[in-house]
Amino acid sequence: MQILIDTGATNTFINYKTLQSINQPTNLNKHSSSFVLADGIAPFHVLGVVELEILFSDQITTISAHVAQNLCTDVILGMDYITLYNLKFNIRKQIVSIDLNNRQYQMKNNQNVQTKFIPVTLSDSLYIPRQSNRFAKVSIPISSISSHFIPYYQFSLCNTAFIPHKFLEFRNHFSRVTFSNTSPRPHFVPRGTRIGYLCHYAITQPSTTRFDHCKKSCGVTNELGESPDFHASDNNTCTNNQIQDPLCCATVNQIHPSTERDIHQLISKIHLKQQRDDLLQLLVRFHKIFDTTKHNIANTPIHHIINTIPHSPPACKPYPQPDTVEIMYNMIQEFLKAKLVAESHSPYAAPAFLVKKHDGTHRFVVDYKKLNLITIKDSSPLPNMEDTIQKLGQGYKYFSKLDLKSGFYQIPIREADKEKTAFTTPFGLFQFNVLPMGLKNSPPTFQKVMTNVLTPCRQFALVYLDDIIVFSKTYDDHISHLTQVFIALSNRNFVLNPPKCVLLVPKINYLGHTISDKVVTPMKEKIQAILDIKEPRLLSQANKFLGALSWYRKFLPNFSTIAAPIHAVTNLTKNNRHKFHWRFAQKQAFKQLKEILISTPLFLHFPIADKPLILTTDASGIGIGGVLQQEVDGHLHNLYYHSQVLTPCERKYSTIEKEALAIYKCFVRMRPLLLGRQITIMTDHCPLCHIMTKTINNARVDRISTLIQEYNIDKVVHIHGRQNCLPDYLSRYPREQNDELFDIEYGLDSKTDSAPIISSTNNIVASMILRPRNNRGKCSKSSSYNDDRNIHNNNLPCHSNTPDQLMKTHITSTFSTNNFDITKLKDEQQKDPLIQKYITQVRSNPQNISFKIKNDILYKVIIPFRLSKTKIEVIYLPNSMISSLLHASHNDPMSGGHFSVDRTYSKLRKHYWWPNMKYSIKQYIKSCLLCQQYNIGRQKKPGRLRSISPPEGPFQVIGMDFCGPLKRTPRENRYVLIITDYFTRHVVAIPLPNCSAEKTAEALFNEYFCKFGVPSLIITDQGSHFRNQLLSNMRLLIGYNHIYSTPYHPQTNGIVERFNSTFIPQISKLQDSENNNWDEYLQAVVFAYNSGTHKTTKYSPYELLYGRSPRLPFHPKPFHFSFQQPNDYFEQLKKTLKLYHQATRFNIIQQQARNKVYYDRNRTDPIYNIGDRVLTRVHGIKGKLDPIFSPTPKVIIHTSHPIYIVRDEQKNIESRVHVCDLRHIIVD
């Protein structure tokens, strides 16, 4: 390479061809500019600027050079380089010198001798353990040479791996070099790393002044130089930032040890060495996107925006979590350090709390429910998962799946909206700088960002939220595709999660499916999760099971008929959900569905591009069905199954209309598979054979024929009904069209303890029962029908199980839980020291009247009954067998049945004895969890009466509740808002058309506050009509306190509840025969109540409010009127009301004391501590066989007796419970 030092040039230039020859063309910072040549006239155009590194006497010098075409030499060093390094010429001595780092470096231009520098490259990736030496193979472009080896100075600085200078001899391009790692940690050097050069001296012809080396930097931090004569690239780190490819190469010291481990883990499953090395080089090049040691915020033009409706900012208090305060504090500090959050002064405040994960760590969660209620929804759609899966089925042989590390936390949020994400903690108010989880529009924003980032890669990469999948047909394409995806992610500063990434595999798990080049199957983990679901006992559990299966029903051609019994009891309206039952038919269906998941090959083929498709459809009176197939090498491949129920309107269609509708619905459902492919339609309805060529003279059919014109339909073929078994089957057992779980992925949050799958002596039919229409009512042992063209394979068995046979298979070995083994009695007695002591005493004193020995077994002599005169001998049971006997005598369905202590004791005392026998039985049954859940308490509910202290006067404390819904009146009223004063017992009843928050607030303000004033305290239940943002804002605006009663404890607001039960019967007696004019009598009945004497206060509410008795219609007319002066009446009224109020308060207190004595009689008042495990009472509509208390234990996390806050041990859901609804778990 020739370098010209030109003092007349203002800048440094490099020839474009020379730039290409050093093999780094991508780092050109392109921008056009012009210079003028020495003549001052001719323009000189350059293409851009590039960073050059020039090796001067073993020292690297850098300069920005302009790239030009048709330059007279390779490189021109101008005045910028000369000035920067104080370059000097000694013409007499032919020496050029520069100043660098306060030192002078010289180079002699020898016209006869030229030094050749040959780059030395590492042949294979090298791992060097700490404090050890390793030999490594290195290579050069020349086949054989012996020369002095000099390591790169920068390589020695960047690596603790030391390479000594030595004389190397190369044969066949290769030699060996010693690496010494003296550091306390291991190091890794990737294949292809330039480690140094060979100095070779050769005699040459005189030439112009030139430098020995010139190379172009790749533009990234700390990259080493490239040899001028060879085009191998360097794999060390570089110095400047660049835009397009931000991590060309790196040395191991710039890779964090955890990142290095993650990279090794990613390539550990690649078996081919060449592929492993290529992938390793790629990952090392882009190691920054795998570095999870710090939080990254992406540099993306799309920021998250929170558009809200006009509303006051919602604010909540922090949730109490005393046991996790320190953990939350540490997490907040990490977020602040990573700049994910910042301190805030926002009017918004959402409560933050921690949720414990399965691995014991905690997840930081913010409850944005109130913010989400006022957020305008972003309607940007997520990708259709069905289309995504089908797109991957086009013969791709290489897949890679990339997962973003905390993907939401990498997306920035718009500056103006950051305050809306504010969350409150015990340590203050903070707000997010990045997209938090839990916001309403987080998924659409995240999808838009990732779609934008990967737009250049859309032909070979798909993204669904934080999952990116890269797919290719060849290995070389896949490496290229991965490189482009990594570049796109690097440009936007995204970071991946290495443990969840999978690279270079022939099949991939994606969106709940396992996808390969030919077939798609359900993921084994998802199927296992379904198998682990216990037999449902509640409607929600049954729906969960069906929902999990519905996501994979396209793999199950006979799903509908097997699941029909479960569908029959789950398709219930809201008012009929209490009718759910789980009986024998549902149990059998549940068992068969699990069996079919493990006995049937669950896979569908991907369509082959050059083969036609066969769509076979059929319709019945209740539904339609179809199957898409493809004939390959004489065998039919199933591609998709579809069935659905006809609507009531569609069931009225004629036969030809139903058959045409079946074709249309299948085309709609299978559209991604059918578009652009040749299709043959098969139907058993002959008139439809000409649907694409002639007019059928039926408006609906002709309309359908027009709608399917966009598809490439080759022909419509008629087949006999007996050959159309599968679509006919699907049409007669269709899926429910309103099954909301069909089109969405069903997520299984966690696996529960799996119930054993009951095995049957008869094989469950894993495929459809296929038989001709004229024989559908019969069932033979085996039936088969084969088409002449071998298109349908219908050789499927048909089983018929009688109820007796099914009952036999239903009773299994798990029915009995009796593990008590009497044959071990003698051995266990010999191991029991106390029994051996008694045996020794009996043998030494045979006259012992308390114990006897028979057949080497100790018996206890007891009186079976209190007044019995006879004695019996029973077995002395050793301690080791007591537990199994109690389990058998109490838990076993036949011998125990979970009966009481007395029944169990009376059964056992006739056969066995041990010390403190009855106490042991009592403690065992007390600790039985099932008994605690299901047993009905025969005593009063726990929790003593705690009365609300009477207020000092009227309208200070009021209670409020809704009564309804009642029958709608002509004035559109259905509800009554009841407001009762706790002092005077005065009642206000307001009829309303609904119980919405808006109507409640309006009625409370207009009909009460504006007439009686604002109370100090309002007591209500926790209904949504009372507990909402509107009433909360009104409370803050007007100024009163509002407290809520404990859930399912109406006694808290008992005064209002008592009036509801009083006035309903009264108003019912007055309404008309239509029962819809109750609101006409409402105010009259309320006045009658307010004017009557109250039993507690001994006064009427009217008297306590107005100081006088009301005049009623039946009162006699007065004969004279006496007019007092207003002031005299006022003074008299004050005295009267004062006496009334004093007496009323005394009467209330007295009545409350009497009520408490009566209520507390024979009633317990247990007090629980934090950490106690309890069961909570199950409220709402439940069956007779449902548990009375919660199936899962709960833990007390906060106490304020008699109110406790409990947390579910499985779901981590917190709830507020009164002591009367708690039952302590007794552990034996």
Nearest to 773 by CA among 657, 684, 660: 684
Return the pLDDT at 776. 37
Domain 3-108 fold: Cathepsin D, subunit A; domain 1 (2.40.70)
Q: What are phi and psi of 394, to 5 degrees?
A: -120, 40
E-assigned strand segments in 693-818: 712-718, 782-783, 796-797
- Is the pLDDT at 754 greater than 70? The verdict is no
Tokens 């690496």 belong to residue:
179
List the structure tokens of 1084. 């009259």
Return the pLDDT at 57. 73
CA–CA gap between residue 622 and residue 423 (Å, rounded): 53
Return the pLDDT at 432. 93
Give me the mean pLDDT over the 1161-1182 stretch: 84
CA–CA gap between residue 65 and residue 28 (Å, rounded): 10
Segment of 817-826, 886-895, 1037-1046 carrying the highest mean pLDDT: 1037-1046
E-assigned strand segments in 941-1044: 957-963, 975-981, 987-992, 1017-1020, 1041-1044
Identify the residue with better confidence: 849 or 804: 849
1173-1224 CATH, one of 1.10.10, 2.30.30, 2.60.120, 2.60.40: 2.30.30
CA–CA gap between residue 1121 and residue 1129 (Å, rounded): 14
Tokens 């790169």 belong to residue:
152
For residues 531 and 597, the answer to whether their CB atoms sit within 8 Å is yes
- Is the pLDDT at 1223 greater than 50? The verdict is yes
Q: Give, for 636, the enclosing helix (H) or strand (E).
A: strand 635-645
Return the pLDDT at 230. 31
List the structure tokens of 663. 């074709």
Nearest to 320 by CA among 1222, 1196, 1221, 1217: 1196
List the structure tokens of 241. 């930032």
CATH entry 3.40.50.300 includes domain 523-572+584-803:
no
What's the half-sphere exposure (Cβ side, CA atoms, 13 Å) at 54? 28
Residues β-bridged to residue 472: 398
Give me the mean pLDDT over the 1005-1032 stretch: 91
* pLDDT tens digit sequence for 366-410: 888 889 889 998 888 777 666 777 677 677 888 998 988 888 888
Question: How far is residue 116 from each of residues 205, 215, 684, 864, measured CA to CA in Å?
Answer: 14, 14, 84, 112
The one-letter amino acid code at 1136 reads T
* pLDDT tens digit sequence for 821-848: 888 888 888 888 898 888 888 888 877 7
- pLDDT confidence tier of residue 1008, bands split at 50, 70 and 90: very high
Q: Where in the chain is the domain with CATH 2.40.70.10?
A: 3-108
Q: Where in the chain is the domain with CATH 2.30.30?
A: 1173-1224
Name which of 491-495, 595-599, 1217-1221 the model is least confident about. 595-599
List the structure tokens of 756. 């054993």
The full length of the chain comes to 1228
Return the pLDDT at 343. 92
Question: How far is residue 256 from each of residues 239, 462, 482, measured CA to CA in Å?
Answer: 18, 29, 22
* pLDDT tens digit sequence for 48-98: 888 887 877 777 788 888 888 766 677 888 888 888 888 888 877 778 888
The strand pair at 12-15 and 59-68 is best described as parallel
CA–CA gap between residue 859 and residue 879 (Å, rounded): 14
Give me the mean pLDDT over the 275-294 stretch: 85
* pLDDT tens digit sequence for 131-169: 778 888 889 888 778 777 777 655 555 555 656 656 678
* pLDDT tens digit sequence for 888-926: 888 887 777 888 888 888 888 888 989 988 888 888 888
E-assigned strand segments in 933-1070: 957-963, 975-981, 987-992, 1017-1020, 1041-1044
Segment of 549-558, 820-829, 1126-1135 carrying the highest mean pLDDT: 820-829
- Is the pLDDT at 348 greater than 90? The verdict is yes
- pLDDT confidence tier of residue 38, bands split at 50, 70 and 90: low
- pLDDT confidence tier of residue 580, bands split at 50, 70 and 90: confident
* pLDDT tens digit sequence for 192-205: 888 888 876 554 44
- Is the pLDDT at 729 greater than 50? The verdict is no
- Is the pLDDT at 237 greater than 60? The verdict is no
* pLDDT tens digit sequence for 1-14: 677 788 878 888 88
Q: What is the DSSP string of 1147-1194?
A: HHHHHHHHHHHHHHTT-------TT-EEEEB--SS--TTS-SB-SS-E
Return the pLDDT at 1000. 92
Q: Where in the chain is the domain with CATH 3.30.420.10?
A: 523-572+584-803, 957-1090
Identify the residue with better confidence: 1204 or 820: 1204
Return the pLDDT at 725. 53
- pLDDT confidence tier of residue 1018, bands split at 50, 70 and 90: very high
Average pLDDT, the chain: 76
* pLDDT tens digit sequence for 467-523: 898 999 888 889 989 999 998 898 888 999 898 898 988 888 776 677 777 667 766
Identify the residue with better confidence: 611 or 1021: 1021
Return the pLDDT at 529. 66
CATH number for the segment(s) 957-1090: 3.30.420.10
The one-letter amino acid code at 1041 reads N
The strand pair at 678-683 and 613-619 is best described as parallel
Q: Where in the chain is the domain with CATH 2.70.40.10?
A: 113-205+217-254
Nearest to 309 by CA among 372, 267, 263: 372
3-state secondary structure at position 968: coil
Q: What are phi and psi of 606, to 5 degrees?
A: -85, 145
Return the pLDDT at 25. 47
- Is the pLDDT at 739 greater than 50? The verdict is no
CATH number for the segment(s) 322-517: 3.30.70.270
- Is the pLDDT at 801 greater than 80? The verdict is no
Q: What is the 3-state secondary structure (H, E, C) of 325-343?
A: HHHHHHHHHHHHHCCCEEE
Identify the residue with better confidence: 776 or 1032: 1032
CATH number for the segment(s) 113-205+217-254: 2.70.40.10
Neighbours of 557 (CB within 10 A): 22
CATH entry 3.40.190.10 includes domain 822-926:
no
Q: Where in the chain is the domain with CATH 1.10.340.70?
A: 822-926
